[in-house]
């Protein structure tokens, strides 16, 4: 009888140990990590946008020298990208990583269109 009781207690201990959830990162640390990730992503997307904007500026200068202008759709895309990046910056400043990532998704999609229209890969 004692052996059964000991066995039962051991089995219960193993089951309860297995069902104990793994310790999670405290919420403030998760929020801080999300905020940090959004800030880092913003920097990467903004850097990529700036590089492509400089290429567009160079192309525009060459076109202007020949009496032509950059296509208005490219200009509009650039403005939309800048607006999305501004929105992401505001969200990061207000510690809202979800909104920042949403704006960055939009900026990245627009930037990809910009690059393709500019003649990039």
CATH number of the domain residue 41 falls in = 1.20.120
Stated pTM of the model: 0.73
Is residue 56 in some structural domain?
yes
Is residue 61 in some structural domain?
yes
Q: Which residues of 1-22 are buried (b: 16+ CB within 10 A; e: fewer)?
A: eeeeeeeeeeeeeeeeeeeeee
Are 14 and 50 in contact, with CB atoms under 8 Å apart? no
- What does the alpha-carbon distance between residue 120 and residue 112 come to, in Å, rounded to a whole number? 9
Is residue 18 in some structural domain?
no
Q: What angle do CA 48, 76, 112 make, to 5 degrees?
A: 35
pLDDT tens digits, 57-81: 999 999 999 999 999 999 999 999 9
Is residue 34 in some structural domain?
yes
Is residue 104 in some structural domain?
yes
Is residue 23 in some structural domain?
no
How many independent structural domains does the chain possess? 1
Instruction: Domain of residue 111: give its range.
Output: 28-118
Question: Among 4-13, 21-30, 63-72, whose mean pLDDT is lowest?
Answer: 4-13
């Amino acid at each position: 009888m004692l052996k059964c009781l000991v066995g039962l207690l051991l089995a219960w201990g193993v089951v309860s140990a297995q069902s104990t959830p793994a310790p999670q990162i405290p919420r403030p640390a998760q929020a801080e990590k999300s905020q940090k990730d959004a800030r880092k992503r913003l920097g990467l997307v903004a850097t990529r946008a700036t590089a492509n904007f400089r290429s567009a500026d160079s192309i525009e200068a060459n076109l202007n020298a020949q009496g032509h202008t950059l296509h208005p759709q490219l200009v509009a895309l650039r403005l939309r990208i800048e607006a999305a990046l501004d929105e992401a910056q505001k969200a990061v400043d207000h510690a809202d990583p979800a909104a920042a990532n949403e704006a960055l998704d939009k900026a990245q999609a627009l930037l990809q269109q910009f690059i393709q229209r500019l003649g990039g890969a």
